[in-house]
């Protein structure tokens, strides 16, 4: 399974865009880039995933570099409720399990 | 709410007791996963079912742990003779395999404290 690396912590001002980077230089061709977040003491929440193309949904945008070695999760207008640990995971359905790192702890400040 | 549900949300037990947790997946999902998460760490995979078949178990799952999904719907995770090191959040997720991947959706977790 591909290993992903993320900065341990980031800060963002409320109302500004939060850009969370992730490196996955050994990602396989069939592995998707998944993002989850976990608010304290809750179960992880799915955010978005992508394979090659950039993706957008109601929660966030995912930008994947052309060589697929890195990606950025963008929360366009961060709110205090976006304070959480964000996990980037390289995953293909045939792997059958998500391999989690330590994630990025995002603090959104008023 | 039609998400993944887990019961109980919290469990406090004494060392040596047996505990059982239940997970109800999203109704049409055919895959069900169990993970364990300790403080400050990401979740760790324990086991996975496709329908009622248990297809993979982690080495973390000692012989004191057993999981079942008898009719391919809800699942139970039992820990026998609990130890203090079993204290953790136990997470359940479900998914529907479609195309090249399956997106796992998580329940709220069961927090186990072993005294």
Contact assessment for residue B23 and residue B74, using Cβ atoms and an 8 Å cutoff: yes
A:14-73 residues touching chain B, CB 8 A cutoff: 30, 32, 34, 36, 41-46, 49, 51
Q: Would you state the torsion angle of the CA atoms of residues A68, A8, A41, B104, taken in this order, to the nearest 10 degrees?
A: 10
* CA–CA dist B83, B113 (Å, integer): 10
Chosen for mutation from B43, B89, B91, B102 (greatest number of chain A CBs closer than 10 Å) is B43
Measured in degrees and rounded to the nearest 5, phi and psi for residue A108 equal -100, 120
Q: Do B91 and A43 touch (CB under 8 A)?
A: yes
Q: What is the pLDDT of residue A1?
A: 58
In the predicted structure, residue A22 carries a pLDDT above the cut 90: yes
Q: What gap in Å lies between CA B68 and CA B5, rounded to an integer? A: 16
Residue A15 backbone zone (phi > 0: left; psi -120 to 50: alpha; other: beta): left
Tell me the average pLDDT across A91-96.
74
Q: Identify the residue with better confidence: B97 or B104.
A: B104
Residue B97, pLDDT score:
80
Q: For chain B, first and last CA: distance in Å?
A: 33
Asked if pLDDT for residue A68 goes beyond 80, the answer is yes
Would you state the pLDDT for residue B59? 78
Per-residue pLDDT tens digits for B6-39: 999 999 999 999 999 999 999 989 899 999 999 9
């Amino acid at each position: 399974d591909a290993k992903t690396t993320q900065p341990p912590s980031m800060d963002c001002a409320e109302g500004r865009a939060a850009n969370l980077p992730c490196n996955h230089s050994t990602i396989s061709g069939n592995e998707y880039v998944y993002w989850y977040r976990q608010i304290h003491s809750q179960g992880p929440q799915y955010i978005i995933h992508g394979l090659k193309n950039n993706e957008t949904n109601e929660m966030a945008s995912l930008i994947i570099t052309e060589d697929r070695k890195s990606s950025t999760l963008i929360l366009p207008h961060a709110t205090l409720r976006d304070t959480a640990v964000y996990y980037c995971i390289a995953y293909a359905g045939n792997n059958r399990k998500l391999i989690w790192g330590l994630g990025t702890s995002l603090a959104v400040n008023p | 709410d039609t998400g993944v549900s887990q019961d109980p949300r919290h469990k406090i037990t004494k060392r040596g007791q047996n505990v059982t947790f239940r997970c109800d997946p999203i109704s049409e999902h055919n895959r069900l996963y169990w993970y364990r998460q300790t403080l400050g760490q990401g979740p760790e995979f324990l086991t996975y079912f496709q329908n009622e078949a248990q297809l993979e178990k982690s080495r973390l799952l000692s012989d004191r742990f057993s999981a079942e999904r008898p009719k391919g719907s809800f699942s139970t995770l039992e820990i026998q003779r609990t130890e203090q090191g079993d204290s953790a959040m136990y997470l359940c997720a479900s998914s529907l395999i479609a195309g090249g991947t399956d997106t796992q959706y998580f329940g709220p977790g069961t927090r186990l404290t072993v005294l």
